[in-house]
Amino acid sequence: MSDRLISCDDHMDLSQLPADLWTTRLPASLLDRAPHVEERDGRPVWVCDGKIWGRWVGKPSPGVTSERPVKAVYDAFDRAGIHDPSPRRAAVAELRLADMDRDGVTAQVIYGPVHQISTGDHELRAACYSAYNDWLMEFCQAAPERLIGLPMLPETPEGALAELERVRKKGGVRQVVFMVANIDPKLDDPAWEPLWQALEDSGIILSWHITAFAKPNARVVGRAASVFENTKLFLANFVEPFVDLFAWGILERHPGLKMVLAEGGAGWLPWLVQALDHQHDQLWEAKEFWADKGGAELATKPSDLFRRQVYATFQDDHVAMALLPFFGEKNLLWASDYPHPDSVWPHSRQAIARQMGHLSPEVRRRITHDNAAELLGLGGAS
C-alpha cells in the first residue's frame, strides 16, 4: 500500500505535557492551585490540590535504563524498540512527526488526556482545559496540515459553549472533543441546544472519546484477568448518549452536525442502529399515539441519520470490515491510537493489510485516508 494514511485517533497524554503548562498559563486567581510536577516516592508525578493525577516522563524514573523494562502494559514505543522513558516524544513536534513518517501517516487527529484532568472544581477544570487547548494549538502550528489537535470542552452546556466560542475565535479549529461519559446534565436537557447550534453553524466536528478506566476490582487485582476489565466499560461510555442523539431528535434538528465516536470500535454499531430502526418503525406504526409526545420530531430513520452524520474510528476491527455493506465505507475512520498500548503503531500498514486485504485499493484508501480528508477539509493531505 503506497498511499499515505490519516490517523483519526491519536494521543497527547498527561505524562508527556510540559511541566510548566499550567503554572505559566492559568489565570492569576488559580495559579496557587495549578497542576504541577512533584517528586513522590522518588518518581515525578502531576499533582493538583494535593491529589496525584498521574506520572510525568520528563525525567527518568530511578533505576530505569534504556533496556526494556519489565512492566504490566507495553506501549507502542516498546514495540518500536524505544525503551528510554524520559523523552516526551509525543509532545515534541519534530519527534512526533518523525514517528508519523516512520508509520506512513500524513496527518494525525490528536486527543488530549482522556481522564486525568480530574478536579471536581468546575472553574479550575475549565481553566485547565483552556490552558491545555492554547498550548496544543501552538504545538500544532509546527505542521498545521499534519497535526490536528482537538481542543477539549468542559462537560457542562455553558462551559462547553463558552470554550467552543473561545477557541473558534482563534481560528484553525476543525474538531473538538468532550468526554461524554462525564457530562452533566444528560443530552436530553434543552440546555445543550445552543452548543449543537453553534457546532452546526461553525461546521466544527464534535468528538466523543472513551474515558473507560476500570477501578481496582478485588477479584482481579494481580491477576491476568484484570487486563480485560476496561472492555466492560468501553461500550458503557457510548451506548446511552449515542441512543440519545436519535431519541431526542438532536441529529434530526441539526442535519449539519457531524459526530465522531473515537476509540469505541465500530463493529458493535450495526446491530445497535438496526435495533433503533426497528423501534423507529414501531413508533411510526403508532404515530397517532406518539404525535403529541415528541414523535412528530423523529421523522428520519436512525440508520439514515447515522450514515449522514456519524463517524466511528477503529484501529483493528475485523467485524467492522465484514459489515461494510452497512457502513457503506463512508462512516469509518481508521486510527493508529499512537502511542497507547492498544496502538498498531509502528506497524499500521501490517494491521491494515491484515484486516483489509480482501478490500479493493480504492476502498482501503477511502477508509484510511479519503473519508478523513473530506471530513476535516485536508485537501493537501496526500
Asked if residues 194 and 157 have their Cβ atoms less than 8 Å apart, the reply is yes
pLDDT at 84 over 80: no
Mean pLDDT value of segment 295-311: 96
Asked if residues 168 and 204 have their Cβ atoms less than 8 Å apart, the reply is yes
Helix ranges (H only) for the chain are 76-79, 93-102, 122-140, 157-170, 193-202, 229-247, 250-253, 269-285, 287-290, 302-309, 318-322, 324-327, 348-356, 361-365, 371-376
- In angstroms, the Cα distances linking 122 to 60, 150, 227, 307 are 33, 20, 32, 35
Q: What is the C-alpha separation between 211 and 181, in angstroms, rounded?
A: 7
Tens of pLDDT along 10-59?
Answer: 999 999 999 999 999 999 999 999 999 999 998 999 999 999 999 898 87
pLDDT of residue 106: 97
Q: Which residue has the higher pLDDT, 150 or 231?
A: 150
How many other CB atoms are found less than 10 A from the CB of residue 213? 11
Tens of pLDDT along 177-224?
Answer: 999 988 999 999 999 999 999 999 999 999 999 986 656 577 877 888
C-alpha cell at 1: 500500500
Read off the pTM.
0.93
Tens of pLDDT along 157-174?
Answer: 999 999 999 999 999 999
Q: How many CA atoms does the CB half-sphere of 362 hold within 13 Å? A: 0
Q: Which residue has the higher pLDDT, 274 or 228?
A: 274
Mean pLDDT value of segment 89-110: 95
Confidence of residue 1 (pLDDT cuts 50, 70, 90): very low
Closest CA to 177 of 207, 137, 215, 140: 207
